[in-house]
Structure formats: C-alpha cells, structure tokens
A and B are shown apart, each in its own frame.
Chain A
Amino acid sequence: MRGMRLGRNIQLGVKNLLLHKLRSMLTMLGVVFGVGSVVAMLAVGEGASAEALEQIRRLGSTNIIVSSVKPVEEQSSGAMQANMSVYGLKYDDETRVRATFPNVERTVPVKQIAKEGRLGSRSMELRVKGTTPDWFELVPREMIAGRRLLDQDLNDKSNVLVLTEYGARRLLATRNTIGESIRLGGDVFQVVGIVQSEESDAGGVQTLDSATDAYIPINVARDRFGDITSQRTAGSRSRELVELHQMIVQVKSNEDVEAVANGIEAMLQKFHKKVDYRMSVPLALLRQAEATKRTFNIVLGSIAGISLLVGGIGIMNIMLASVTERTREIGIRRAIGARRNQIVGQFLIETVVLSMMGGLMGVAIGVGTPWVITKFSGMPTVVTLFSITLSIGISMAVGIIFGLYPAARAAAVDPIIALRHE
C-alpha cells in the first residue's frame, strides 16, 4: 500500500517538475555541480592514493632503501687518488645495521655493475646486481623457470646468474635458457633461473627491480669485478670506488619503520663524512601522499559543500514559490480529505525527486570529468561505487533538508483560505 502510494507520489512529482522544465533544470544546477564536484574530487583523490599505494606495494611498506649517491663536491676534486672518487655505502654499514637494530628483519646489500652480457652472437647491456638470496624475499616475483639464488651459491662462490624474462628473451630467444652460459666481460656465468620483472612503464612509480637486471651472488660480484668501476666520459677516464650501491633494510612491522630509519640515518651521519647516500622510506611517501590527499579533500570538500548548500537553498526557494503558486491545489487536496502529512509527503517527495535528478546528472558529470582529466593529463583517477552512493545519498539528504520547510509551509495552508485563493 505504502509503496504504491510512494510510487504514485514520485510519478506525480516528476509530472509536476516536467510542467516547468526550464525552471526545474535551473533549480537543479546547484546540486548537479555540487554532486559532480564531489564525485570528481573523490575520483581524483582516490586515483592519487591508489597511485601512492601502488608505489608502496612495489617498494614495500616495511622497507627502508638506502642508495649510494655521488656527493656534488666529489665530482671535481679527487678524494683518495687522482681521478678516483670514493663514496657510498660500505660493506660495514650493512653489517652494522644488522647488528644494531633488533627490529630489522633482514638487510639486502646490492652491488650494481653495468656489464655487457653475451650469449653466442647475441648481447645486451645488463644491470648486474650482486646480491643475496634475501633479495628475492624483498622483491617477490614469479619464477618463470629454474630457481633463485641460494645461500649455497654464496658459500660456493659459484658463477651463477638469474636473468629476467626480458633479458632471457633478448639473449636467448626461443632456446631453452636454463643451464646456458652467459659471458660477462671475461667471466662465464651459468643461468640457473628466470624471474619475472616488474619495471614500471607508468611514469612516477618506482620499483626496486628493472627489466635488464641479472642477479649474481654478491661475493662473486666482488671477487670477479672488484669495487672499482671505470668509465670513459668525454675523453677522460674516471674511476669510482663504491662498495655497495644499495642497501634495502626490512623492518619487522610498519611501526618500526620510522625509528629504524632515524637510527640508520644517525648511524650513517656518524660514519660518513659526506652525505654520499640517500634514504628513501616508502611508508613516509605514503604518509605524505595521505596528508596531501587529506588537504586536497578538505579544500574540494568545502567547495562541494558550499555548492550543495547553494543548490539546496535554490531548491528551497523554488519550492516555496511553488507552494504559493499551488495554494489552491493544496486546498483542494485538503478539502477532499488529504491529511497534513500527506501534503508534506507530496512536496517533500517532489523536492527529493528534483534534487535526486540533479544528483544523477551530477554523477554523470562527476564520472565524465575524471575520465577527461585522465585522458588529457595522464593523472590516474578512480571513480568508486562508494563515491556514487555517497553522492546520491547527499543529494537525497539535500532534498529532504531543504524540502522540509516548504513542505511544512504547504501543509500549514488553511484549506478554507486556500480554496478562496486565486
């Protein structure tokens, strides 16, 4: 019974609104833009936070990444020897970190050397990473074939190498790869495994691995290639002594990240004369992204709120005019036997229908705008079902809040006077 009457009241409401199409449209505009901005705002905010979360997921929220960086002043003046710059993380740094902080789960040292890899007639530039088996725990990727590096490989100092899928395709094409030998400079390494890599193609998202990686035991890297690398740049030779290029520290839980990061920084400051390292804390990036998102949401939320308020007042204004205009109709309905609350219901439903129609149009705009933003700026946006539900809920609430007063005015109309109203 009630449902039926609600259905017919909605029908009646739509009919009344269609009688004044332009007026209804103009009245709705405030809600249209208010709701549109809510949906669009949430989509942009959601997109930004999804991007940040993706970055954290790739880097690992419990990780602290310390990389060696060449200090600026080091470039011109020789530190130890002529044409040789010495900087970066030391093997001792890793040992010290592991020994000092009880909340550290594991540390992974990375020694990175650019080498040309050769297999038969094929060759490619590899980013050879001397590391430990723990690398594969920190950067979990699917094994396509073979196995990871093992502790055994370090103990035996075996010349073994794990290629990425990309590297395998480049060097070996369709041939079965496991067991093949790859030549790195003067040394021969046996391929024991192929791992999936997840190098980002979308801008901005960092990963620890790259498509051109090749993983070998760290002690093998040190023995075969040493700590000194030489480069030929613009006719002059420059040599660098870097023990570790990167150190990834994994702590036990998110709560430990900040304390350990501060501890490591203090330790490095103490043992390094110059700032020849850079720390990157994914969790801090997340916090930063969240703070930015919050500010963004507050600013846009206020704008959306104000436009919804203005929209609601516009609706109330028109509904009050409509009540005056339809005083006689109200009188007729009351004389026939409509109760006051039925008149309230009629006008309230009409207002809610109006604001909900505005809300639906707003959702259309709110879904379309992020699409345009993504298309032209490449900024990721995510329209969530939640934001759509929220917006429809808000427009309904606007209808109810700003419809109550006009509806109450309508119900307060005295039928005797209303029937004489011209």
Chain B
Amino acid sequence: MTIAHEPVKSVRRADVVIRFDDVYKIYQMGEEKVAALNGVTLDIERGGFWAIMGPSGSGKSTMLNLLGCLDRPTAGRYHFDGHDVGSLSDDKLSDLRLRKLGFIFQSFNLIPQLTVRENIELPLFYLNWEPRDSAARAEELAERVGLGNRLEHRPNQLSGGQQQRVAIARALANDPPVLLADEPTGNLDTATGEQIMVMLGELHEQGKTILMVTHEPEIAAHARRQLHMRDGKVDRLEGEA
C-alpha cells in the first residue's frame, strides 16, 4: 500500500512539512453554519516543535483533527508532507496516518485487552510487519521509554506516566516524521508530566516534528513556537524556528 507521491507545486521548500492555505472547516449545527476554522494560512517547518494553544471553541481541536489527517478541510488547501489531504480517499488518509503520524493522547488511549507489547506493535500489525521484526521493534522501543520489563503487562497494571510512555513507544513504532500530542500531560501529575515533556524534547532533538495541543503555558513553554488560536483563526505566533 503506497501513497501516490504527487508533487505539490505550492510546497516548494523542502523544509515545510505542513501547509495550511486559507483553510476553512465549517460545521452544520442545525440551521446554522459554524466555522471552526475560519481561514487559516500557516506553514509548519520540518523538525519544528509547536504548541497550539487557545481557549475552548478557538478551533484547536479542529486543527488537531486536520493535523492528524482524521478530517478534511471544507475549503482551502491543507498539505501534509506533500499530500493534498482534501483530495485523499478515506483509505489513503488511513495510510497517511499509518506511515507519517504518531498519536499521543491525553487519556493515553491504549487498548486495554492488549499487553504493552501488543499495543506498541499495533501500527506494525497494520503495516504488515513480520511478527519477529515487530516483536524486536516493540522491545527496542519499550527499552527506550524505560519499560523494557513491562512488555507483558496490561495497561491497567501501569501508572499513568508509564501508560503515556507506552503510548509514546506506540507512536514511534512506525518511525513517523510527525508526532501529534493532544494534551499529553493533561492526566498526569506535574513531575510525571515534566518527564514526558523531557522525552518529547529529546524526540524533537532527534529530528521529529512535534505538534502539541495544550492549554497550559508551562507545558507550551517546552515547545519552540507557540501558536495561539482564537475564533477559528491564528491569533498570534510566538517563538523562533
């Protein structure tokens, strides 16, 4: 299953991984139309570490859905790593997520009936890896997040911080260029949250593009750039690439 690599002319600079080009996302709420994204134009550079902030209703969840290739824009163009997401089929979007994205959620979102090992292997299962290879990969990643001795545990046997580390290992399994984190420390105490942020910082050092939605300024401060959303538009962008 390969994704057709049609070159997109508007994305010339190789260091831009995500480009919003006057993107609208409009929801029909009964009679009314609500613009969750109201004309967003934005470039995100490869290897960037961005925090997306904003009050509820500012459009950051919608941004996250688009960034995660879970949704398509209503109008405008949204390019993800050279692909025009608005024109892709559901299967192509699935493939894009499978190969280019790693998700880290506030509530960890591990599958409870699977072991740590099986959770980490999940993307590799859909990538059709040989069981032996994916087992080795899962062990390597568990080691990397400090859970090498917990491979056969179930998520409910782990602490919150450990579960989030498993989720990070799972997000890294397919070695994606982009990691998407939705309030990654939201369900963790400050110290544990700090550890997770250190881990994300390291991943950024290693060249991953990290996009993180948060409402906590201390957490957002770990990122290089802070994007503030308001009423479906970019309010302001802080920090340097």
Contacts and interface: CB of A to CB of B under 8 A. Distances in A.
Contacts of B127: 337
Interface string B96-139: 11110101010001110100000000110111101100000000
Contacts of B190: none
A329 B111 contact: yes
Given A328-B109, A340-B90, A335 B126 contact: no
Interface in A325-368: 328-329, 331-342
Contacts of A342: 126
B136 to A, nearest CB: 16
Contact of A5 (B94, B128, B170): B128
A-side interface size class? 20 to 34
B186 to A, nearest CB: 13
Interface stretch (B63-71, B157-165, B201-209): B63-71
26 contacts: A1-B128, A4-B130, A15-B113, A16-B113, A329-B111, A332-B110, A332-B111, A333-B111, A334-B70, A334-B94, A335-B68, A335-B97, A335-B103, A336-B122, A336-B123, A336-B126, A337-B94, A337-B95, A337-B126, A338-B126, A339-B91, A339-B94, A340-B90, A340-B91, A416-B65, A416-B71
A338 B76 CA distance: 27
Contact of A337 (B65, B110, B123): B123
Nearest to A5: B128
Contact of A336 (B65, B71, B91, B98): B98
Nearest to A8: B125
Nearest to B111: A329
Nearest to A9: B125
A419 interface: yes
Interface string A378-422: 000000000000000000000000000000000000011001000
Nearest to B97: A337
A19 interface: yes
Contacts of A341: 91
A327 to B, nearest CB: 12
Interface of A: 1, 4-5, 8, 15-16, 19, 328-329, 331-342, 415-416, 419
A316 to B, nearest CB: 22
Contacts of A340: 90-91, 94
A335 B111 CA distance: 12
A123 to B, nearest CB: 82
A260 to B, nearest CB: 70
Contacts of B99: 337
Nearest to B119: A332
A4 B130 CA distance: 8
A353 B134 CA distance: 25
Contacts of B125: 5, 8
B70 A416 contact: yes
